[in-house]
Structure 1
Amino acid sequence: MAKDINSGALTIKQIESFEKDFQTRPENKIMMNAVTRGNIQEIAINRQVINQMDLSFSNEVESGGPITDQMQAGTCWLFAELNWLRTLAIKKMKAEKFEFSQNYIIFWNKLEKSNYFLENMIEYRDKPWDDRRVYHLINIPVPDGGEWHMAADIIDKYGIVPKSAMPDTFNREKSKFLNEMLFYKLREGAAKLRAMHEEGKPVSALRKEKMEIMKLIYRILAIMLGEPPRKFDFGFRDKDKKYHRSPGITPKQFFKKYVGINTADIYCLLSCPTPDTPYYKTFTAEFFANTIGGREMIALNVPNNILLGRAIQVLKSGEACLFSADVLQHSHSKEGLLDTGIYDYDLIFNTPFKMDKITRIQTLQTRLTHCMVLVGVDLVNGKPVKWKVENSWGESVGKKGIFIMSENWFDEHVYALIIHKKFLTKKMLQLFKQPPISLPPWHPMI
């Protein structure tokens, strides 16, 4: 290979042919002059798609706003899940507006993920630093990202609180500095645990040292996010102007009283068409957890039309639907549009951008990047033409935080639904009993 690699080098003659090809097409100069002076998305935008979208939907769910804003933190999954739980809470409370504390869940999530990371460092203590799994763990010790099963483990163990009980902090809104502190101390801790192992210390000694590290991690989290409440007072006025008070309530009592679902009744449907993820099999993933002894992420892989049908069923029942997608594809934040025809890049570059879904996944052109909540669908003769999406990017984007998703975008870029088991068929529930196939932590659907 090394001997032949020079034969693949670009030559001046070849580059001259590229220049000639470019310069013989007058439209290339027009496009160059336009794109070099502006945002390519704005230049390529398809005005017809924008003009066709409107905010009317045949079926809508009351979301219980306000629109939330994850700001400069990769916690879309948590915001989406709390936004979804809010739709259930406002029904029980008969309230118009409500918001859970994201800061509270993030505190416990980071603490549990830190413990999870250190336990894995003990588990993989005999593997070299450049082992691919060790590298995966050490690269981002406590990532911002996650999925429903992680939030469920935190809620089951620590409960949930209203935003008033643990408001946002600077470091909730901008996770960069918090992560820098945690990453440093966790990597330092991992190195110390390995050194102790090399000195012949038993696992019991490593775990004792781990608890000293965790004591420090708690201190960092408390200083940067604030300490989470053990008990708090909560009061609100419902739609009928009646005042309700819950003095001295605990976070677990709060969840039971105002949400009241069994988190074990929530399931994940995946739709990934690649050969390594056959349909009607269940899948899990390595290291895709936050709590030692917590639940695995288990997803049943099904064709996309089943996702679509389940989503419609959920919304028609009057409930919202949590979903995961690749929001980096064919999306326009300012307009709040998700549509595969939103950009005419083909016209600008005179080349098609038409990779099929399987190829996009296999080449990492697409992957799961964002979680949001479906709060409406527009059905024409029983078929969806567009969807109403509650995002977590604040009110300055979209239609005051609401996005409109076309049916073609759902087909191409929605990959997972998180729904209650009452919306699953008996056959689906039976399929969930299969032993799951484990995917590596770098799989694009993780």
Structure 2
Amino acid sequence: MATPIRTGNTAISIAQIQRYAADFHSSPANRVRMNAVTKSGIQSVATDRDAVARMQYTFSEEIDTGPVTNQKQSGRCWLFAGLNTIRQDIATGKHMAPFELSQSYQMFWDKFEKANYFLERILDTLDEDTDSRIVQWLLQAPLQDGGQWDMFVNLVEKYGVVPQCVMAESYHSSKSAVMNRLLTSKLRKEASDYRACYRQGTSVADLRDKKQLFLGEFYRLLCYFLGTPPTTFDFEYRDKDNVFHRDTGLTPQTFFEKYARVDLKDYVSIIHAPTSDKPYDRTYTVKYLGNVEGGNDVVYLNVDIDTVKRLALAQLQDGESVWFGCDVGKRSDSESGIMDARLFDYEGALDTSFAMTKAERLDYGESVMTHAMVFTGANVIDGKVNRWKVQNSWGKDAGKDGFFVMSDAWFDDYMYQIVVNKKHLSEANLSALAQTPIELSPWDPMGSLAMMR
């Protein structure tokens, strides 16, 4: 790597600092801003009262989905959002009161499959140097809680689903940091062993035999943390007419097939990534983004933002909620549940500018998808939405009884992905979806996982 050529002054001088300080103290407004922000915090100072008044929790289109769920101190938002869409379908189809599906069950199999997926990627890259970008990327976070829609589908198709009463939450499913840290250490140690053995002449076939033994140990560790996943169970419930039902000898797979009317193969991921390297109306996949070896690849169809809105609204008006991924921490407030691009006037409060386009935010690491939730309503005026109803998974104390409200302007800036039934796609959308996906690098912004807690 060539040594950069530096011209002019590169270090900060004391004289510079003195000039900056003099400039600061020359303006009385600077002291007012400093006093306000240091005493009350920037969000309190920058909150726009008009934005708060504008973001009402009333909607012209609404789906009754029951109470919110709570992922607690874990990054399982994508699993909660996916299971929330399925439980709505089950409850509606069977005339049941709202209930929960087991997020711990999905978490168990996700971590088990991710362990195998990670080790297979280590075997793929044995000829790479340990400090290569790809190997270091693989080692960075082999077992985080986060995921994507297609990864959720992989789990349901292979392992089914179970009611939460069949596999309840454990301490570490709700508070996953220590478990993840220990299991990650095991995986990195195994990766180190494989690469050392390979350099000493061990064949890949023999390393795969070693992997099978390791997975048995990994299964045991997961049972310690999360409990044993059920193979069969009985399901008992009363419907809304107070009629009792009992169904015995179910497997997680037969339960999903019998009770869920939804066919997950009918659903596709639609993204809005307006960067120059991702033309619209093309499909994309991300190298090494997945959880189940041999499962479905993560595939996106990239479209303009108006198409994303049209498809989301069409599904809501068809009586079905919408799984989505966004950058939840930007210009939003978890206490009020308001997600609005104008909620905080940071620019006015700090007398500066943070202006970037959505494409620039993606290109420069300022924004990526961080969290998955579910649209359950929208407020439509003259055919257009001005705010969206959001079901979160942070418990009932966040937002309004756990629900958030999103402005349409926030949708423009920080929404990245929705999942919709293919029946809502236009012929042009379906034609674009049929293309062979363009493979993106593992570290591409569209390779981010929903894992906000």
For the superposition of Structure 1 and Structure 2, which TM-score range results when normalised by the shorter chain? Answer: over 0.9
Conserved in 1, the CA contact under 8 Å of 2:375 and 2:391? yes
Distance in 1 of aligned mates of 2:445 and 2:103: 26
Conserved in 2, the CA contact under 8 Å of 1:66 and 1:99? no
Distance in 2 of aligned mates of 1:204 and 1:125: 13
Q: Tell me if 1:49 matches 2:51.
A: yes
CA deviation profile, 1:53-81 (whole Å, cap 9, x unmatched): 22211110111x33111111111111111
Q: Percent identity?
A: 39
Distance in 1 of aligned mates of 2:147 and 2:301: 18
Structure 2 gaps of 5+ residues are 448-453
Q: Counterpart of 2:450?
A: none
Q: Counterpart of 1:377?
A: 378
Q: Tell me if 1:420 matches 2:421.
A: yes
SS in 1 for 2:137: helix
Distance in 1 of aligned mates of 2:83 and 2:201: 45
Letter in 2 for 1:305: D
Q: Counterpart of 1:216?
A: 217
CA deviation profile, 1:328-352 (whole Å, cap 9, x unmatched): 1110000000000100111221112
CA deviation profile, 1:113-156 (whole Å, cap 9, x unmatched): 00000111111111111111111111111121111111111111
Moved more, 240-249 or 293-302: 240-249
Q: Tell me if 1:310 matches 2:311.
A: yes
Give the C-alpha shift of residue 2 in structure 1.
Answer: 5.5
Q: Counterpart of 2:67?
A: 66
Give the C-alpha shift of residue 7 in structure 1.
Answer: 2.7
RMSD: 1.2
Alignment of 1:12-411 (within 5 A): 12-63=14-65, 65-411=66-412
Moved more, 43-52 or 165-174: 43-52
CA deviation profile, 1:5-52 (whole Å, cap 9, x unmatched): 783111222212211221111111111112112332122111111122
Distance in 2 of aligned mates of 1:280 and 1:200: 47
Distance in 2 of aligned mates of 1:314 and 1:326: 22
CA 1:21–1:216 in 2, change beyond 3 Å: closer, same or farther?
same
Give the C-alpha shift of residue 95 in structure 1.
Answer: 1.4
Q: Tell me if 1:7 matches 2:9.
A: yes
CA deviation profile, 1:239-280 (whole Å, cap 9, x unmatched): 111122111211001101111322221101111100011101
SS in 1 for 2:323: strand
SS in 2 for 1:164: coil
Q: Counterpart of 2:439?
A: 438
Give the C-alpha shift of residue 176 in structure 1.
Answer: 0.7
Conserved in 1, the CA contact under 8 Å of 2:286 and 2:441? yes
Conserved in 2, the CA contact under 8 Å of 1:181 and 1:220? no
Conserved in 2, the CA contact under 8 Å of 1:146 and 1:288? no
Letter in 1 for 2:285: T
Letter in 1 for 2:31: K
Moved more, 317-326 or 349-358: 349-358
Distance in 2 of aligned mates of 1:360 and 1:404: 23
SS in 1 for 2:165: helix
Letter in 1 for 2:323: L
Letter in 2 for 1:78: L
Conserved in 2, the CA contact under 8 Å of 1:285 and 1:441? yes
Structure 1 gaps of 5+ residues are none
Distance in 2 of aligned mates of 1:139 and 1:196: 21
Letter in 2 for 1:81: G
Conserved in 1, the CA contact under 8 Å of 2:88 and 2:98? no
Distance in 1 of aligned mates of 2:379 and 2:210: 56
Give the C-alpha shift of residue 224 in structure 1.
Answer: 0.4
Letter in 1 for 2:238: R
Structure with higher RCO (Cα < 8 A, 6+ apart):
2
Conserved in 1, the CA contact under 8 Å of 2:233 and 2:250? yes
SS in 1 for 2:446: coil
Distance in 1 of aligned mates of 2:128 and 2:93: 51
Distance in 2 of aligned mates of 1:224 and 1:5: 57
Conserved in 1, the CA contact under 8 Å of 2:270 and 2:417? yes
Conserved in 1, the CA contact under 8 Å of 2:335 and 2:398? yes
Distance in 1 of aligned mates of 2:425 and 2:245: 35
Conserved in 1, the CA contact under 8 Å of 2:286 and 2:446? no
The alignment's TM-score, normalised by the length of structure 1, stands at 0.97
Give the C-alpha shift of residue 3 in structure 1.
Answer: 6.1
Letter in 1 for 2:52: I
Distance in 1 of aligned mates of 2:204 and 2:221: 25
CA deviation profile, 1:303-356 (whole Å, cap 9, x unmatched): 000000111111111111111111111100000000001001112211122211
